[in-house]
Structure 1
Protein backbone atom coordinates (compact mmCIF):
# COMPACT_ATOMS: atom_id res chain seq x y z
CA UNK A 1 0.00 0.00 0.00
CA UNK A 2 1.21 3.49 -0.85
CA UNK A 3 -0.41 4.94 2.29
CA UNK A 4 0.50 4.83 5.95
CA UNK A 5 -2.11 2.64 7.75
CA UNK A 6 -3.36 5.65 9.73
CA UNK A 7 -3.81 7.66 6.55
CA UNK A 8 -5.68 4.82 4.85
CA UNK A 9 -7.98 4.47 7.87
CA UNK A 10 -8.73 8.21 7.70
CA UNK A 11 -9.32 7.98 3.96
CA UNK A 12 -11.80 5.11 4.24
CA UNK A 13 -13.72 6.81 7.04
CA UNK A 14 -13.90 10.12 5.17
CA UNK A 15 -14.95 8.45 1.92
CA UNK A 16 -17.70 6.64 3.85
CA UNK A 17 -18.86 9.99 5.19
CA UNK A 18 -19.14 11.46 1.70
CA UNK A 19 -21.28 8.48 0.70
CA UNK A 20 -23.39 8.89 3.85
CA UNK A 21 -24.01 12.54 2.94
CA UNK A 22 -25.12 11.38 -0.50
CA UNK A 23 -27.43 8.80 1.08
CA UNK A 24 -28.98 11.52 3.26
CA UNK A 25 -29.39 13.95 0.37
CA UNK A 26 -26.90 16.45 1.79
CA UNK A 27 -25.03 16.85 -1.50
CA UNK A 28 -24.65 19.99 -3.60
CA UNK A 29 -23.62 18.61 -7.00
CA UNK A 30 -19.79 18.73 -6.92
CA UNK A 31 -19.63 21.48 -4.31
CA UNK A 32 -19.12 21.71 -0.54
CA UNK A 33 -16.63 19.78 1.52
CA UNK A 34 -15.88 17.48 4.42
CA UNK A 35 -12.25 17.66 5.49
CA UNK A 36 -10.17 15.63 7.92
CA UNK A 37 -6.80 16.58 9.38
CA UNK A 38 -4.26 13.79 9.13
CA UNK A 39 -2.67 12.56 12.38
CA UNK A 40 0.93 13.29 13.34
CA UNK A 41 1.87 9.70 12.56
CA UNK A 42 1.28 10.64 8.93
CA UNK A 43 1.95 14.37 8.72
CA UNK A 44 4.57 14.79 11.43
CA UNK A 45 4.83 18.45 12.42
CA UNK A 46 3.12 19.55 9.20
CA UNK A 47 -0.61 20.23 8.99
CA UNK A 48 -2.11 18.19 6.19
CA UNK A 49 -5.68 17.22 5.50
CA UNK A 50 -7.87 15.30 3.10
CA UNK A 51 -10.51 16.88 0.89
CA UNK A 52 -12.79 15.72 -1.92
CA UNK A 53 -11.58 15.94 -5.53
CA UNK A 54 -13.21 18.98 -7.16
CA UNK A 55 -15.38 17.74 -10.00
CA UNK A 56 -16.59 14.50 -8.48
CA UNK A 57 -20.05 13.97 -7.02
CA UNK A 58 -20.07 12.70 -3.43
CA UNK A 59 -21.25 9.33 -4.75
CA UNK A 60 -17.98 9.08 -6.70
CA UNK A 61 -15.59 9.79 -3.83
CA UNK A 62 -13.36 6.90 -2.82
CA UNK A 63 -10.59 6.44 -0.26
CA UNK A 64 -7.90 6.58 -2.94
CA UNK A 65 -9.15 9.60 -4.90
CA UNK A 66 -9.34 11.93 -1.89
CA UNK A 67 -6.79 14.73 -2.26
CA UNK A 68 -4.10 15.38 0.36
CA UNK A 69 -3.39 19.10 0.74
CA UNK A 70 -1.65 21.52 3.08
CA UNK A 71 -3.23 24.59 4.68
CA UNK A 72 -2.51 26.63 1.55
CA UNK A 73 -4.50 24.22 -0.57
CA UNK A 74 -1.40 22.84 -2.27
CA UNK A 75 -1.60 19.18 -3.26
CA UNK A 76 0.81 16.85 -1.48
CA UNK A 77 0.44 13.86 -3.77
CA UNK A 78 0.09 13.04 -7.46
CA UNK A 79 -3.71 13.11 -7.44
CA UNK A 80 -4.85 14.44 -10.85
CA UNK A 81 -8.01 16.09 -9.51
CA UNK A 82 -8.06 19.83 -8.67
CA UNK A 83 -9.08 21.36 -5.32
CA UNK A 84 -11.88 23.90 -4.91
CA UNK A 85 -10.42 27.16 -3.49
CA UNK A 86 -13.53 27.62 -1.33
CA UNK A 87 -12.71 24.31 0.33
CA UNK A 88 -9.35 25.16 1.79
CA UNK A 89 -10.15 28.83 2.50
CA UNK A 90 -12.83 28.03 5.07
CA UNK A 91 -11.75 24.60 6.20
CA UNK A 92 -8.04 25.29 6.62
CA UNK A 93 -8.83 28.41 8.65
CA UNK A 94 -10.79 26.31 11.13
CA UNK A 95 -8.29 23.44 11.14
CA UNK A 96 -5.48 25.95 11.76
CA UNK A 97 -7.16 28.03 14.46
CA UNK A 98 -8.99 25.36 16.48
CA UNK A 99 -6.70 22.60 17.83
CA UNK A 100 -9.56 20.12 18.23
CA UNK A 101 -10.93 20.69 14.73
CA UNK A 102 -9.89 17.33 13.36
CA UNK A 103 -12.92 17.23 11.05
CA UNK A 104 -14.86 20.10 9.44
CA UNK A 105 -18.16 19.68 7.57
CA UNK A 106 -20.18 22.18 5.54
CA UNK A 107 -23.57 21.78 3.84
CA UNK A 108 -26.09 23.75 1.78
CA UNK A 109 -29.16 21.66 2.57
CA UNK A 110 -32.50 23.25 1.73
CA UNK A 111 -33.82 23.53 5.28
CA UNK A 112 -30.40 24.37 6.72
CA UNK A 113 -29.98 27.24 4.28
CA UNK A 114 -33.59 28.34 4.83
CA UNK A 115 -32.97 28.70 8.57
CA UNK A 116 -29.67 30.46 7.80
CA UNK A 117 -31.67 33.05 5.84
CA UNK A 118 -33.91 33.95 8.80
CA UNK A 119 -33.12 36.92 11.03
CA UNK A 120 -33.68 34.94 14.23
CA UNK A 121 -31.71 31.85 13.18
CA UNK A 122 -32.25 28.55 14.96
CA UNK A 123 -35.45 28.48 17.01
CA UNK A 124 -35.41 26.91 20.45
CA UNK A 125 -38.69 25.14 19.95
CA UNK A 126 -38.08 21.48 19.19
CA UNK A 127 -36.47 18.32 20.51
CA UNK A 128 -33.34 18.71 18.37
CA UNK A 129 -32.62 22.40 18.79
CA UNK A 130 -33.09 21.94 22.55
CA UNK A 131 -30.03 19.65 22.49
CA UNK A 132 -27.90 22.42 20.98
CA UNK A 133 -28.21 25.11 23.64
CA UNK A 134 -25.22 27.47 23.46
CA UNK A 135 -23.56 25.29 20.82
CA UNK A 136 -24.32 27.30 17.67
CA UNK A 137 -22.37 30.31 16.41
CA UNK A 138 -23.31 32.70 13.58
CA UNK A 139 -21.25 34.27 10.81
CA UNK A 140 -22.59 36.91 8.43
CA UNK A 141 -22.55 36.31 4.71
CA UNK A 142 -19.63 37.89 2.83
CA UNK A 143 -20.06 36.19 -0.54
CA UNK A 144 -18.37 33.08 -1.91
CA UNK A 145 -15.74 32.02 0.61
CA UNK A 146 -12.61 32.25 -1.54
CA UNK A 147 -11.02 35.32 0.05
CA UNK A 148 -8.44 34.67 2.76
CA UNK A 149 -9.25 37.91 4.61
CA UNK A 150 -12.62 36.44 5.67
CA UNK A 151 -10.97 33.60 7.58
CA UNK A 152 -10.08 35.56 10.79
CA UNK A 153 -13.63 36.92 11.05
CA UNK A 154 -15.09 33.45 10.56
CA UNK A 155 -12.83 31.95 13.23
CA UNK A 156 -13.59 34.81 15.64
CA UNK A 157 -17.34 34.39 15.19
CA UNK A 158 -17.16 30.63 15.67
CA UNK A 159 -15.19 31.00 18.89
CA UNK A 160 -15.50 27.73 20.82
CA UNK A 161 -18.90 26.77 19.40
CA UNK A 162 -18.83 23.38 17.63
CA UNK A 163 -21.60 24.34 15.21
CA UNK A 164 -22.16 27.41 13.07
CA UNK A 165 -24.92 28.79 10.94
CA UNK A 166 -23.35 30.73 8.09
CA UNK A 167 -26.04 33.35 7.45
CA UNK A 168 -27.62 33.20 3.97
CA UNK A 169 -25.24 30.33 3.25
CA UNK A 170 -25.53 27.05 5.16
CA UNK A 171 -24.44 24.92 8.11
CA UNK A 172 -21.01 24.04 9.48
CA UNK A 173 -19.72 21.61 12.10
CA UNK A 174 -16.30 20.72 13.50
CA UNK A 175 -15.14 18.20 16.08
CA UNK A 176 -12.11 16.24 17.32
CA UNK A 177 -13.49 13.16 15.51
CA UNK A 178 -15.42 12.69 12.29
CA UNK A 179 -18.27 10.71 13.93
CA UNK A 180 -18.80 13.47 16.49
CA UNK A 181 -18.87 16.18 13.79
CA UNK A 182 -21.35 14.05 11.85
CA UNK A 183 -23.65 13.53 14.84
CA UNK A 184 -23.59 17.22 15.74
CA UNK A 185 -24.38 18.24 12.16
CA UNK A 186 -27.13 15.62 11.90
CA UNK A 187 -28.77 17.05 15.03
CA UNK A 188 -28.56 20.61 13.70
CA UNK A 189 -29.94 19.48 10.36
CA UNK A 190 -32.88 17.74 12.04
CA UNK A 191 -33.55 20.88 14.09
CA UNK A 192 -33.70 22.89 10.87
CA UNK A 193 -35.97 20.31 9.22
CA UNK A 194 -38.44 20.51 12.10
CA UNK A 195 -38.24 24.30 12.31
CA UNK A 196 -39.10 24.76 8.63
CA UNK A 197 -41.96 22.23 8.81
CA UNK A 198 -43.35 23.74 12.00
CA UNK A 199 -43.27 27.30 10.64
CA UNK A 200 -46.12 26.43 8.27
CA UNK A 201 -48.38 25.52 11.19
CA UNK A 202 -48.42 28.79 13.11
CA UNK A 203 -46.87 29.94 16.40
CA UNK A 204 -44.58 27.42 18.07
CA UNK A 205 -44.29 26.37 21.70
CA UNK A 206 -40.96 27.74 22.86
CA UNK A 207 -38.60 25.63 24.96
CA UNK A 208 -37.36 27.57 27.99
CA UNK A 209 -33.66 28.26 28.37
CA UNK A 210 -33.57 26.21 31.58
CA UNK A 211 -35.10 23.17 29.88
CA UNK A 212 -32.86 23.58 26.82
CA UNK A 213 -29.78 23.78 29.03
CA UNK A 214 -30.87 20.62 30.87
CA UNK A 215 -31.67 18.83 27.59
CA UNK A 216 -28.25 19.67 26.14
CA UNK A 217 -26.58 18.47 29.32
CA UNK A 218 -28.50 15.19 29.20
CA UNK A 219 -27.87 14.56 25.49
CA UNK A 220 -25.23 11.83 25.83
CA UNK A 221 -24.83 11.42 22.06
CA UNK A 222 -22.14 14.12 22.00
CA UNK A 223 -20.20 12.75 24.97
CA UNK A 224 -16.89 11.15 23.96
CA UNK A 225 -17.03 8.78 26.92
CA UNK A 226 -20.15 7.29 25.33
CA UNK A 227 -18.57 7.07 21.89
CA UNK A 228 -19.21 10.62 20.69
CA UNK A 229 -21.46 9.53 17.83
CA UNK A 230 -19.36 6.56 16.76
CA UNK A 231 -22.33 4.18 16.97
CA UNK A 232 -24.41 6.52 14.82
CA UNK A 233 -21.70 6.81 12.19
CA UNK A 234 -21.07 3.06 12.24
CA UNK A 235 -24.77 2.48 11.51
CA UNK A 236 -24.61 4.92 8.58
CA UNK A 237 -21.49 3.17 7.28
CA UNK A 238 -23.31 -0.17 7.32
CA UNK A 239 -26.13 1.39 5.30
CA UNK A 240 -23.61 2.74 2.81
CA UNK A 241 -21.88 -0.66 2.57
CA UNK A 242 -25.14 -2.41 1.75
CA UNK A 243 -25.79 0.14 -0.98
CA UNK A 244 -22.33 0.46 -2.54
CA UNK A 245 -18.99 -0.26 -0.87
CA UNK A 246 -16.85 1.06 -3.74
CA UNK A 247 -15.82 3.99 -1.55
CA UNK A 248 -13.35 1.59 0.13
CA UNK A 249 -11.22 1.43 -3.03
Structure 2
Protein backbone atom coordinates (compact mmCIF):
# COMPACT_ATOMS: atom_id res chain seq x y z
CA UNK A 1 0.00 0.00 0.00
CA UNK A 2 1.48 3.32 -1.03
CA UNK A 3 1.59 6.49 1.04
CA UNK A 4 -1.51 7.91 -0.71
CA UNK A 5 -3.58 4.70 -0.62
CA UNK A 6 -7.14 4.93 0.75
CA UNK A 7 -7.99 3.96 4.31
CA UNK A 8 -9.19 0.31 4.51
CA UNK A 9 -12.91 -0.28 4.95
CA UNK A 10 -14.03 -0.47 8.58
CA UNK A 11 -11.03 1.42 9.96
CA UNK A 12 -11.21 5.12 10.80
CA UNK A 13 -8.72 7.47 9.17
CA UNK A 14 -7.25 8.32 12.56
CA UNK A 15 -6.78 4.67 13.51
CA UNK A 16 -5.16 3.88 10.16
CA UNK A 17 -2.77 6.81 10.57
CA UNK A 18 -1.86 5.48 14.02
CA UNK A 19 -1.32 1.99 12.58
CA UNK A 20 1.00 3.28 9.86
CA UNK A 21 3.11 5.29 12.28
CA UNK A 22 3.34 2.43 14.77
CA UNK A 23 4.32 -0.05 12.04
CA UNK A 24 7.03 2.41 11.00
CA UNK A 25 8.37 2.45 14.57
CA UNK A 26 8.63 -1.36 14.57
CA UNK A 27 10.51 -1.29 11.27
CA UNK A 28 12.90 1.41 12.49
CA UNK A 29 13.70 -0.50 15.69
CA UNK A 30 14.46 -3.56 13.56
CA UNK A 31 16.59 -1.60 11.08
CA UNK A 32 18.83 -0.42 13.92
CA UNK A 33 19.11 -3.92 15.40
CA UNK A 34 17.40 -2.95 18.65
CA UNK A 35 14.73 -5.66 18.48
CA UNK A 36 14.69 -9.19 19.93
CA UNK A 37 13.17 -11.48 17.29
CA UNK A 38 9.41 -11.76 18.04
CA UNK A 39 9.79 -10.40 21.56
CA UNK A 40 9.64 -6.83 22.90
CA UNK A 41 6.75 -4.58 22.11
CA UNK A 42 5.61 -1.09 21.16
CA UNK A 43 2.03 0.03 21.75
CA UNK A 44 0.00 3.05 20.70
CA UNK A 45 -3.38 4.29 21.86
CA UNK A 46 -6.14 4.25 19.26
CA UNK A 47 -7.31 7.85 18.78
CA UNK A 48 -10.87 8.39 19.93
CA UNK A 49 -11.24 4.93 21.51
CA UNK A 50 -10.79 5.08 25.27
CA UNK A 51 -8.88 2.12 26.66
CA UNK A 52 -7.91 0.73 23.25
CA UNK A 53 -4.38 0.37 21.97
CA UNK A 54 -2.47 -1.28 19.15
CA UNK A 55 0.36 -3.75 19.71
CA UNK A 56 2.39 -6.31 17.77
CA UNK A 57 1.04 -9.74 16.88
CA UNK A 58 2.97 -12.29 18.95
CA UNK A 59 4.89 -14.36 16.44
CA UNK A 60 5.94 -11.76 13.86
CA UNK A 61 9.38 -10.19 13.60
CA UNK A 62 9.53 -6.41 13.95
CA UNK A 63 10.76 -6.29 10.35
CA UNK A 64 7.56 -8.06 9.19
CA UNK A 65 4.99 -5.93 10.98
CA UNK A 66 2.58 -3.93 8.85
CA UNK A 67 -0.18 -1.46 9.66
CA UNK A 68 -2.89 -4.06 9.10
CA UNK A 69 -1.19 -6.81 11.13
CA UNK A 70 -1.20 -4.86 14.40
CA UNK A 71 -3.61 -6.19 17.02
CA UNK A 72 -6.10 -3.88 18.75
CA UNK A 73 -6.75 -4.75 22.39
CA UNK A 74 -8.16 -3.05 25.45
CA UNK A 75 -6.50 -2.53 28.82
CA UNK A 76 -8.10 -5.75 30.05
CA UNK A 77 -6.32 -7.73 27.34
CA UNK A 78 -9.39 -8.40 25.17
CA UNK A 79 -8.86 -8.35 21.40
CA UNK A 80 -10.93 -5.67 19.71
CA UNK A 81 -10.04 -6.65 16.15
CA UNK A 82 -9.77 -9.98 14.38
CA UNK A 83 -6.30 -11.49 14.31
CA UNK A 84 -4.86 -14.97 13.98
CA UNK A 85 -2.18 -13.92 16.45
CA UNK A 86 -2.27 -13.58 20.21
CA UNK A 87 -0.65 -10.82 22.27
CA UNK A 88 2.36 -11.50 24.48
CA UNK A 89 1.17 -11.65 28.11
CA UNK A 90 4.12 -9.57 29.34
CA UNK A 91 3.31 -6.99 26.67
CA UNK A 92 -0.24 -6.65 27.98
CA UNK A 93 0.87 -6.46 31.62
CA UNK A 94 3.45 -3.74 30.98
CA UNK A 95 1.66 -1.65 28.38
CA UNK A 96 -1.82 -1.72 29.88
CA UNK A 97 -0.39 -0.49 33.18
CA UNK A 98 1.37 2.47 31.60
CA UNK A 99 -1.48 3.43 29.27
CA UNK A 100 -3.90 3.35 32.20
CA UNK A 101 -1.72 5.56 34.40
CA UNK A 102 0.04 8.10 32.18
CA UNK A 103 -2.14 10.47 30.17
CA UNK A 104 0.87 11.52 28.08
CA UNK A 105 1.93 7.92 27.35
CA UNK A 106 0.25 7.54 23.98
CA UNK A 107 3.11 5.34 22.81
CA UNK A 108 4.94 2.89 25.09
CA UNK A 109 8.10 1.20 23.81
CA UNK A 110 9.98 -1.65 25.47
CA UNK A 111 13.13 -3.35 24.14
CA UNK A 112 16.02 -5.48 25.33
CA UNK A 113 18.54 -3.44 23.32
CA UNK A 114 22.09 -4.38 24.26
CA UNK A 115 23.63 -1.19 25.61
CA UNK A 116 20.56 -0.05 27.52
CA UNK A 117 20.21 -3.48 29.09
CA UNK A 118 23.90 -3.41 30.03
CA UNK A 119 23.60 -0.11 31.90
CA UNK A 120 20.35 -1.27 33.50
CA UNK A 121 22.54 -3.55 35.62
CA UNK A 122 24.71 -0.67 36.84
CA UNK A 123 23.73 1.02 40.14
CA UNK A 124 23.29 4.51 38.67
CA UNK A 125 22.06 3.46 35.25
CA UNK A 126 22.89 5.98 32.54
CA UNK A 127 25.63 8.40 33.61
CA UNK A 128 25.99 11.97 32.25
CA UNK A 129 29.09 11.17 30.23
CA UNK A 130 27.97 12.47 26.83
CA UNK A 131 25.63 15.04 25.36
CA UNK A 132 23.33 12.18 24.36
CA UNK A 133 23.05 11.27 28.04
CA UNK A 134 22.30 14.79 29.29
CA UNK A 135 18.70 14.58 28.08
CA UNK A 136 18.13 11.86 30.69
CA UNK A 137 19.99 13.41 33.61
CA UNK A 138 17.91 12.83 36.74
CA UNK A 139 15.06 11.81 34.43
CA UNK A 140 15.29 8.01 34.39
CA UNK A 141 13.26 5.64 36.51
CA UNK A 142 14.40 2.21 37.75
CA UNK A 143 12.33 -0.93 38.16
CA UNK A 144 13.90 -3.91 39.92
CA UNK A 145 13.80 -7.25 38.15
CA UNK A 146 10.95 -9.48 39.32
CA UNK A 147 11.13 -12.21 36.68
CA UNK A 148 9.16 -12.26 33.42
CA UNK A 149 6.51 -9.53 33.70
CA UNK A 150 3.42 -11.74 33.62
CA UNK A 151 1.99 -11.06 37.09
CA UNK A 152 -0.72 -8.41 37.31
CA UNK A 153 0.42 -7.33 40.78
CA UNK A 154 3.65 -6.04 39.22
CA UNK A 155 1.70 -3.36 37.35
CA UNK A 156 1.42 -1.03 40.33
CA UNK A 157 5.17 -1.18 40.92
CA UNK A 158 5.92 -0.56 37.24
CA UNK A 159 3.73 2.53 37.34
CA UNK A 160 5.23 3.81 40.60
CA UNK A 161 8.81 3.30 39.41
CA UNK A 162 8.21 5.02 36.08
CA UNK A 163 6.55 7.98 37.79
CA UNK A 164 6.70 11.00 35.52
CA UNK A 165 9.97 9.97 33.84
CA UNK A 166 10.18 9.67 30.05
CA UNK A 167 12.31 6.55 30.32
CA UNK A 168 12.74 3.68 32.77
CA UNK A 169 15.48 1.10 33.06
CA UNK A 170 14.06 -2.29 33.92
CA UNK A 171 16.94 -3.73 35.92
CA UNK A 172 18.76 -6.66 34.29
CA UNK A 173 16.02 -6.67 31.64
CA UNK A 174 15.78 -3.72 29.27
CA UNK A 175 14.41 -0.24 28.73
CA UNK A 176 10.99 1.38 28.49
CA UNK A 177 10.28 4.77 26.92
CA UNK A 178 7.03 6.70 26.67
CA UNK A 179 6.08 9.34 24.14
CA UNK A 180 3.20 11.36 22.83
CA UNK A 181 3.92 9.82 19.43
CA UNK A 182 5.75 6.76 18.09
CA UNK A 183 8.41 9.12 16.83
CA UNK A 184 9.05 10.53 20.29
CA UNK A 185 9.19 7.10 21.96
CA UNK A 186 11.52 5.82 19.25
CA UNK A 187 13.89 8.79 19.38
CA UNK A 188 14.15 8.53 23.17
CA UNK A 189 15.21 4.90 22.71
CA UNK A 190 17.67 5.91 20.00
CA UNK A 191 19.34 8.64 22.05
CA UNK A 192 19.41 6.54 25.22
CA UNK A 193 20.97 3.60 23.40
CA UNK A 194 23.63 5.86 21.83
CA UNK A 195 24.43 7.31 25.26
CA UNK A 196 24.62 3.84 26.81
CA UNK A 197 27.03 2.62 24.11
CA UNK A 198 29.28 5.62 24.72
CA UNK A 199 29.16 5.01 28.47
CA UNK A 200 30.21 1.39 28.06
CA UNK A 201 33.08 2.40 25.77
CA UNK A 202 34.29 5.03 28.24
CA UNK A 203 34.04 2.60 31.14
CA UNK A 204 36.02 0.01 29.17
CA UNK A 205 38.77 2.57 28.67
CA UNK A 206 39.11 3.01 32.42
CA UNK A 207 40.65 -0.49 32.52
CA UNK A 208 43.65 1.10 30.79
CA UNK A 209 43.90 3.72 33.51
CA UNK A 210 42.02 6.46 31.66
CA UNK A 211 39.76 8.29 34.14
CA UNK A 212 36.23 9.45 33.38
CA UNK A 213 35.42 13.16 33.18
CA UNK A 214 32.04 13.90 34.75
CA UNK A 215 30.47 17.35 34.22
CA UNK A 216 29.18 19.11 37.31
CA UNK A 217 25.59 18.46 38.44
CA UNK A 218 24.76 22.09 37.65
CA UNK A 219 25.98 21.72 34.07
CA UNK A 220 24.15 18.42 33.62
CA UNK A 221 20.89 19.89 34.85
CA UNK A 222 21.34 22.92 32.60
CA UNK A 223 21.82 20.67 29.58
CA UNK A 224 18.81 18.53 30.51
CA UNK A 225 16.62 21.60 30.79
CA UNK A 226 17.84 22.80 27.40
CA UNK A 227 16.53 19.56 25.91
CA UNK A 228 13.23 19.32 27.78
CA UNK A 229 12.42 23.03 27.67
CA UNK A 230 13.36 23.05 23.96
CA UNK A 231 15.84 25.89 24.09
CA UNK A 232 17.29 27.28 20.88
CA UNK A 233 16.26 25.13 17.90
CA UNK A 234 15.63 21.98 19.98
CA UNK A 235 12.22 20.40 19.37
CA UNK A 236 10.24 17.53 20.91
CA UNK A 237 12.13 14.28 20.18
CA UNK A 238 10.95 12.96 16.84
CA UNK A 239 9.29 16.15 15.66
CA UNK A 240 12.13 16.91 13.28
CA UNK A 241 13.68 13.44 12.87
CA UNK A 242 10.61 11.22 12.46
CA UNK A 243 9.27 12.61 9.15
CA UNK A 244 12.71 12.07 7.62
CA UNK A 245 12.85 8.51 8.93
CA UNK A 246 9.41 7.73 7.50
CA UNK A 247 10.49 9.12 4.14
CA UNK A 248 13.45 6.76 4.21
CA UNK A 249 11.15 3.84 5.02
CA UNK A 250 8.85 4.84 2.17
CA UNK A 251 11.85 4.75 -0.16
CA UNK A 252 13.39 1.46 1.00
CA UNK A 253 10.75 -0.54 2.90
CA UNK A 254 7.29 0.75 1.93
CA UNK A 255 5.26 -2.37 2.65
CA UNK A 256 5.02 -1.39 6.33
CA UNK A 257 2.03 0.68 5.20
CA UNK A 258 0.08 -2.35 3.96
TM-score with structure 1 setting the length: 0.94
Q: Does 1:6 align with 2:10?
A: no
Taking structure 1 as reference, are residues 182 and 221 closer, same or farther at Cα in structure 2, changes over 3 Å only? farther
Deviation at 1:120, TM superposition (A): 2.6
Query: 2 CA distance for matches of 1:8 and 1:221?
Result: 31
Q: Unaligned 5+ residue runs, structure 1?
A: none
Aligned length: 245
Q: Does 1:215 align with 2:216?
A: no
Query: 2 CA distance for matches of 1:87 and 1:226?
Result: 30
In structure 1, what is the equivalent of residue 38 of structure 2? 30
Query: 1 CA distance for matches of 2:61 and 2:242?
Result: 21
Query: 1 CA distance for matches of 2:139 and 2:146?
Result: 22
Deviation at 1:8, TM superposition (A): 0.2
Name which of 102, 107, 114 aligns with 1:103: 107
Query: 1 CA distance for matches of 2:237 and 2:104?
Result: 14
RMSD: 1.7
Which structure 2 residues correspond to residues 1-249 of structure 1 after superposition, within 5 A? Answer: 1=8, 2-40=10-48, 43=49, 46-202=50-206, 203-219=211-227, 226-249=235-258
Deviation at 1:95, TM superposition (A): 0.3
Query: 2 CA distance for matches of 1:122 and 1:228?
Result: 18
Q: Unaligned 5+ residue runs, structure 2?
A: 1-7
> Which is worse superposed, 212-221 or 26-35?
212-221
Query: 2 CA distance for matches of 1:210 and 1:155?
Result: 29
**Matched residue of 2:138: which SS?**
coil
Query: 2 CA distance for matches of 1:75 and 1:221?
Result: 38
Query: 2 CA distance for matches of 1:222 and 1:174?
Result: 18
Deviation at 1:157, TM superposition (A): 1.0
Taking structure 1 as reference, are residues 194 and 228 closer, same or farther at Cα in structure 2, changes over 3 Å only? closer
Q: Is the 8 A contact 1:23 1:240 kept in 2?
A: no
Q: Is the 8 A contact 2:188 2:237 kept in 1?
A: no
Deviation at 1:222, TM superposition (A): 6.2
Deviation at 1:53, TM superposition (A): 0.5
Q: Is the 8 A contact 1:221 1:228 kept in 2?
A: no
Query: 1 CA distance for matches of 2:141 and 2:238?
Result: 21
Deviation at 1:28, TM superposition (A): 0.1
Query: 2 CA distance for matches of 1:209 and 1:102?
Result: 31
> Which is worse superposed, 232-241 or 98-107?
232-241
Query: 1 CA distance for matches of 2:229 and 2:193?
Result: 15
Query: 1 CA distance for matches of 2:228 and 2:85?
Result: 40
> Which is worse superposed, 186-195 or 118-127?
118-127
